[in-house]
Chains A and B, each alone.
Chain A
């Protein structure tokens, strides 16, 4: 157990103690305690920066289930570390922001922070774990905590809908990814990402390679809201804004990006990977930016913008993977520019999008609405917020002097490089890539302008706001301010970031090129095509923004029935009604029917498997002899059983079962089991007392005979069960493959100091069984007690009347 393990598990520890703190210190906002976790981990992780920047990596392993090759192993390299720093860094800011955003009086803060800490721990584990099974566990845990956070205001129907949608889609992807992980194990015989990466050459040859790739990408695309799985992200905006800023823009949705980046060394360089990742990314980029323009809700606009930006990063990872096709040298370096753009934009996006989400949160918090039609003219009322918003959105639009400009330029470089490729059929379709990217960027420019100008400029409409607007408290302004400072700071000193963060990340994504990167990011590099593309965006974008009213109606012509959300909704509805039909078909509501199913299935499965596996065998040579007592006992036993079945009186039936029990006790005597006989006698006595107590006191509702006539179907089932059991008993006798292990217990006197072997087994050799057995007995006793005493059902019905 290393310190890193402890730090990763720290958020979970916090999740446990938060409810206690919440209860103990109701006066203090719980967020102040929580803040210690991300800030502490962030500080600790910073200490790894020099090591990673020096091109080294570390691995800490902790055996968990070694027999299944599952180790809680943590691997610190550039990619994982920068992600972890983003998670804890943005996490600290978000927690700080949430202290002012969420009221400590009205909100269930303990729930909120427990979920948030769960998420943070899971996300840290996800990006740092080397074992795929552990990664998968953390992956699903992020889905679950995201579900809980989206449904935080669970009283709202929209929140529940959004939570369910995100859960269904991301968990679907998670299952696909689990299948991919298992295929990896089949191919490489290991769950370790390190070891898989080292045998990448053999994996490419394997038959399962393409299937694994597609399943893995399904996981990544659902998590990162790529087309057509992006539909969950806008609905996830029902979560409180700090959550949207954190999970649904800065961290969780980037888990898919992380996954793609992590596995690029294996899959990169193949045509399928290049095309799928690039195409899906570009479509998402285009579609997201197109739809963002028409949004009227600020958060929805940001959601589509996030989708689009995630698509941008994804497509860059796809384009950059071509570098691995060449395996090194100058051509590879040319294409590695796309990977640089991807990791650079990833960091930049976290900064400007995080600040924008916080701005929207401030606007929502201080005016009571996020509707663009009601907002406007806030510039003079909220000057600081306006400044932050304009920094963030111009960075998003790709303008200098903000970091978005640098990564946007690099993005165009990447697309132009990709267009010049002469592999993977790029000659035919390659030219499309820069065009799609450019068009999408124009729309990005437009919605960035909409976001800031429609909110802060224009006519102030105080009568349409739910609250009297005013500037936010400093606590809510500080976190976005920090991010804005980063947005500008990165523009001026991008190469510090490149040296300490981006280059180690690229080394993880493109291991063959490690040490060959020659990164120098600069704002001005002459009159190159990238610059003209940016100028074109600004010109066309401004034109489109100014003529917005003239063409926005075009969106209304998109048929609603065609949307993907609609397909999801009707698909879900149809699945529900379909499964209900299937269920109604056999779930009749009668317990008797269910019992019949159980028995028939038992007969079919056990009987068929025994028959097919040739399990029935009859051996009569080694049977023990029968004597007269046993014959008599057997006859009485059959008689008692028949009496219970045939009688029409309650009392006779109870007595019959009692007789049966005593006969079984006598059988134990005959078969030399004195302990069993004693126990059975005592139990039977108590049982009969119990039966009589229950049914003696019961008032007879009506004089009805207990028998219900002969039911032929039941009789057939019963006979079949009986026959099957007899056959099994006989076959067990016919198959004596191994000698009994009970010889061991005959040494009981030496081993346990007891000469009663049965009791030695009970109290010593297999005492765990006995311990759990008395637990079962105690649970049954408590069950009886509560059934009798509590009468919850009756009390509830009394209250209803």
Chain B
């Protein structure tokens, strides 16, 4: 089935970047405002899906040569590592809450770990979503 997707393609090239920017905003906003790893990841995933819908897979694959299964693994590993990092620093697994009360200056550091954790979540969500969608579309 050959269709002419000029309008879709033109709009997509513009909107994808808007969506990606928005996704990045949501990702970082998550700490204090609505947003966060999941939503950021899903937004990125939907932007990429839009790209795949508008253009064909081979073309996109040249620009974005990711193996999404690997991305998924990287994300999981990153999240897990932040948890293990807490153990190495002799805190309970994935947890650093109580330290805040005692050491207010540690705040900055722990903020960073939670962003790393969220980054892992984002990567895993993007990886999983695109693995699912691409597997199906390649099968047809």
Seen from chain A, the residues whose Cβ lies within 8 Å of a Cβ on chain B are 674-675, 677-679, 682-683, 685-686, 689-690, 693-694, 697, 750-756, 758-759, 762-765, 767-768, 770-771, 774-775, 777-778, 780-782, 784-785, 787-789
Q: Which residues of the partner chain A approach B138 to less than 8 Å between Cβ atoms? A: 788
Interface size on B, residues (CB 8 A): 55
Q: Give the residue of A677, A694, A755, A768 whose beta carbon is less than 8 angstroms from that of B32.
A: A755
Q: Kindly identify, within residues 31 to 48 of chain B, every residue whose CB is under 8 Å from any CB belonging to chain A.
A: 31-39, 42-43, 45-46
Q: Shortest Cβ distance from A785 into chain B, in angstroms?
A: 5
Known: A678-B39, A756-B32, A780-B128. A788 touches B139 (CB 8 A): yes
How far is it, in angstroms, between the C-alpha of A490 and the C-alpha of B56 when the chains are bound?
A: 87
In contact, A782 and B131 (Cβ under 8 angstroms): yes
Q: List 7 A-B contacts (CB under 8 A).
A: A675-B34, A682-B46, A689-B53, A756-B32, A774-B76, A784-B131, A788-B135
In contact, A763 and B128 (Cβ under 8 angstroms): no
Closest to A780 in B: B128
Closest to B49 in A: A689
Q: Give the residue of A674, A756, A771 whose beta carbon is less than 8 angstroms from that of B94.
A: A771
How far is it, in angstroms, between the C-alpha of A682 and the C-alpha of B53 when the chains are bound?
A: 16
Q: Which 8 A-B pairs have the closest CB atoms?
A: A781-B128, A682-B42, A674-B34, A774-B124, A781-B131, A697-B140, A767-B94, A788-B135
Q: Shortest Cβ distance from A216 into chain B, in angstroms?
A: 42
Q: Kindly identify, within residues 81 to 138 of chain B, every residue whose CB is under 8 Å from any CB belonging to chain A.
A: 83, 93-98, 100-101, 107, 110-111, 114, 117-118, 120-121, 124-125, 127-129, 131-133, 135-138
Query: Which secondary structure characterizes the binding site on chain A?
Result: helix
Q: Shortest Cβ distance from A483 into chain B, in angstroms?
A: 52
For the A-B complex, the count of residue pairs with Cβ-Cβ distances under 8 Å equals 150
In contact, A750 and B101 (Cβ under 8 angstroms): yes
Q: Kindly identify, within residues 49 to 67 of chain B, every residue whose CB is under 8 Å from any CB belonging to chain A.
A: 49, 53
In contact, B131 and A763 (Cβ under 8 angstroms): no
In contact, B100 and A753 (Cβ under 8 angstroms): yes
Q: Which residues of the partner chain B approach A759 to less than 8 Å between Cβ atoms? A: 30-31, 35-36, 118
Q: Which of A683, A694, A697, A771 has the most chain B CB within a 10 Å cutoff?
A: A771
In contact, B43 and A682 (Cβ under 8 angstroms): yes
In contact, B100 and A751 (Cβ under 8 angstroms): yes
In contact, A774 and B136 (Cβ under 8 angstroms): no
In contact, A754 and B32 (Cβ under 8 angstroms): yes
In contact, B136 and A682 (Cβ under 8 angstroms): no
How far is it, in angstroms, between the C-alpha of A780 and the C-alpha of B43 when the chains are bound?
A: 19
Q: Give the residue of A683, A755, A756, A764 whose beta carbon is less than 8 angstroms from that of B97.
A: A764
Known: A774-B79, A781-B72. A763 touches B118 (CB 8 A): yes
In contact, B35 and A764 (Cβ under 8 angstroms): no
Q: Which residues of the partner chain A approach B118 to less than 8 Å between Cβ atoms? A: 759, 763
Q: Which residues of the partner chain B approach A751 to less than 8 Å between Cβ atoms? A: 97-98, 100-101
In contact, B76 and A775 (Cβ under 8 angstroms): yes
In contact, A764 and B131 (Cβ under 8 angstroms): no
Q: Shortest Cβ distance from B11 into chain A, in angstroms?
A: 16
Q: Give the residue of A677, A753, A767, A784 whose beta carbon is less than 8 angstroms from that of B117.
A: A767
Q: Which residues of the partner chain A approach B30 to less than 8 Å between Cβ atoms? A: 756, 759, 763
In contact, B49 and A686 (Cβ under 8 angstroms): yes
Q: Shortest Cβ distance from A694 into chain B, in angstroms?
A: 6
In contact, A689 and B39 (Cβ under 8 angstroms): no
How far is it, in angstroms, between the C-alpha of A750 and the C-alpha of B95 when the chains are bound?
A: 14
Q: Shortest Cβ distance from A82 into chain B, in angstroms?
A: 44
How far is it, in angstroms, between the C-alpha of A679 and the C-alpha of B34 when the chains are bound?
A: 10
Given contacts A763-B114, A780-B132, 12 further A-B contacts (CB under 8 A): A675-B35, A686-B45, A753-B100, A758-B36, A762-B37, A763-B36, A764-B95, A765-B97, A768-B93, A778-B76, A787-B135, A788-B139
In contact, A750 and B76 (Cβ under 8 angstroms): no
How far is it, in angstroms, between the C-alpha of A682 and the C-alpha of B50 when the chains are bound?
A: 12
Q: Give the residue of B45, B79, B136 whose beta carbon is less than 8 angstroms from that of A694.
A: B136
How far is it, in angstroms, between the C-alpha of A103 and the C-alpha of B3 when the chains are bound?
A: 69
Q: Which residues of the partner chain B approach A770 to less than 8 Å between Cβ atoms? A: 79, 117, 121
How far is it, in angstroms, between the C-alpha of A169 and the C-alpha of B128 when the chains are bound?
A: 48
In contact, B101 and A756 (Cβ under 8 angstroms): no
Known: A759-B30, A770-B121. A778 touches B73 (CB 8 A): yes
In contact, B37 and A693 (Cβ under 8 angstroms): no
How far is it, in angstroms, between the C-alpha of A750 and the C-alpha of B99 when the chains are bound?
A: 10
In contact, A685 and B73 (Cβ under 8 angstroms): no
Q: Which residues of the partner chain A approach B73 to less than 8 Å between Cβ atoms? A: 778
